[in-house]
Structure 1
Amino acid sequence: MNRILYISLSVILFISCGNKDREILVKLMQEWKGREILYPNDMHFFMQGRDTLNADSICMYKIITYIDSIGCMSCKLGLSQWQDFAVNVDSIFPNTVHFQFVFQPYKLNEIRLLLKRERFNHSVYIDKNNKFNKLNKFPSNMNFQTFLLDRNNRVIAIGNPIYNPKVKELYLKIIKGEKIERRDESKVIKTEVDASNISVSLGRFDWQEEQKATFILKNVGDKPLVIQDVATSCGCTTVAYSKEPALPGKEIALEVVYKAEHPEHFDKTITVYCNTENSPLVLKISGDAK
């Protein structure tokens, strides 16, 4: 069995057991495993306004993500989260992974301002005429528009490591060369959680004013409650919480801060991964920034 096929099958076993997206993931992995990502001949990446050399030619792996023009570009790109992830990867595996970002912008100036504001120092290509997408026909679901590639641009794994900690863990295991095995869920210590309020309306407010909301998770089981990771649907939403386990009967408070980038009606999600049967928990905030 070739390496890419082996890894593809391992990906499904590793990440999708008990996951409602299992069927989608299986279908996508069957379609994309070993497939070569194609680049237009005139495609040139830039970094902070400068052309970049083909750094990927000296790296063993490449992580490439495609972002279309639909919706909030700042939310979809998640620049700060990607910066943190890339720094983490490079600290563990120096000069091993090259990050590339391709997107078809709704507003070109907005993209450039975002990149400049975040001091984004990774390779970016603006797909003005949708050439890159036409060549590759990427999935429409943004959760599956990110790929881990080998040196020959062939797909090893699919999924967004920024919004799914299991995908992040998987990517790191593959890059490190660790064996990928199916999880034995029966050995995972699980508890029960009560989240009586999973949706908060922030109402109407001045878009320049920072908004806050608090979600309480109460451990109503008989084992410690551990929050493994938290992912937000937008870079304008941040979450702070205690990393310490909550003993039975105790609570963990998630302090959510929302800072609008412009006037808008918004519906944002906070996905909480924890050691419960119904993980992940999806919390929501909404409102009108005027």
Structure 2
Amino acid sequence: MKQQLLYILSLLFLLAACQENKKEQFARLVQEWQGKEIVFPQDMLFTRFVTDTVDYTIQESEYKVLIYVDSTGCTSCKLQLPKWKELIAHVDSATNGNIPFIFVFQSKDDKELRYILKRDNFTRPVCIDRDSRLDKLNRFPQEITFQTFLLDKDNKVKVIGNPVHNLAVKDLYLKQITGIQDKEVLPTTTLEPEKSEYDFGTVKEGTIKKQIVTVRNTGSSLFKLKGFTTSCDCTEATCDWKELQPGESGTITVSYEVEQPGDFYRTVDIYGNIPKALTLSFIGTVN
């Protein structure tokens, strides 16, 4: 147990130490990929639920969204399909369904992927990239945050980043696609949590662990909540408020649906009119 705790603490230290390096890395990736053309294999095969091949052709459009998911790590964490369904519905409503969303997966376990697609009732065609052909043609970044792209009609990258993992990136996608920018611009304020890291200790597989988090508006302007993103679809954040006056506090309920045994590290990002998203982290061990 001590070794596991030491491993988690070491991981958190490394993440903090590398934060500035990651910022530089992300800036370099954005610069490198902006305007780069994505090359697609000519004979991409699409299926539903990784079972039946379907006749699907990527429609010609001013924009398209490419979502590429490699086979490393937690597939369910990466996909967050319910959030994609919400975003697609929003874009369809704003564009009359004219924006294709192209989902391309490497699959290390067809059974697991089929289960996730059916569980989330994700009926859209998906391409299973058996031989990593799309990746070999384009050499995508290894960082999963940068394996999603908004492309123009010539398949050139307009925006890089995952809009369901980052609400700021989502704003960039919607602004580019619809040409509409959020008209409401509030003065920046500051938001501070009671704690930024929470240790759940040892939790039992198959249970749900909840944590009440208190945050306080420590600035001089109204804080308006924009939303939350989580590192995994097994983690959810909810609250019953939308705004906090200066000096006012509010609570957020974070629920973690405990998964497979082992150490875990989950995050919740809070977005609003603050300089950058406020990140809460949750660690522990599942037995």
- Same fold, judged at TM 0.5 (above): yes
Superposition pairs of residues 27-176 of structure 1, within 5 angstroms: 27-48=28-49, 49-176=51-178
Give the corresponding residue for 1:12: none
Tell me the amino acid that sits aligned with residue 262 of structure 1: Q
How big is the shift at 1:151?
A: 2.7
After TM superposition, give the deviation of residue 21 of structure 1 in Å: 6.3
Change (3 A) 1:284 1:37: same
CA RMSD of aligned residues (A): 2.4
How many Å separate the matches in 2 of 1:42 and 1:55?
A: 10
Distance 1:192 1:156 in 2: 31
The answer on whether the counterparts of 2:68 and 2:105 sit within 8 Å (CA) in structure 1 is yes
Take 1:261 and 1:23, find their aligned partners in 2: how far apart are those partners?
33
Write the letter of the residue equivalent to 2:240. Answer: S
Percent identity, please.
35
**Paired residue secondary structure (2:43):** coil
Picking from 244, 248, 251, the partner of 1:246 is: 244
Q: CA deviation at 1:92?
A: 1.8
5+ residue gaps, structure 2, are: 1-19
**SS of aligned partner of 1:226:** strand
1:56, 1:151 within 8 Å by CA — same for their partners in 2? no
After the TM superposition, which residues 230-241 of structure 1 pair with which residues of structure 2 at under 5 Å, given as runs?
230-241=228-239
Identify the range of structure 1 (162-171 vs 217-226) with the bigger mean alpha-carbon deviation: 217-226
Count of aligned pairs: 266
Counterparts in 2 of 1:22 and 1:208: CA distance versus 1, 3 Å: closer
**TM-score under structure 1 length normalisation:** 0.83
1:215 to 209, 213, 216: 213
**Structure 1 stretches lacking a partner, 5+ long:** 1-18
- Equivalent in the alignment of 2:7: none
Tell me what 1:192 maps to. 190
Evaluate the alpha carbon distance shift between residue 227 and residue 50 of structure 1 in structure 2; reply closer, same or farther with a 3 A threshold. Answer: same
The correspondence for 2:283, drawn from 273, 281, 286, is 286
Q: Which amino acid aligns with 1:191?
A: T
In structure 2, how many angstroms separate the alpha carbons of the residues matched to 1:153 and 1:146? 13
Query: Aligned residue for 2:3?
Result: none
1:102 to 1:174, Cα distance in 2 relative to 1, 3 A: same
CA contact (8 A) 1:203 1:287 kept: yes
Give the whole-Å Cα distance in 2 for the aligned partners of 1:244 and 1:126.
40
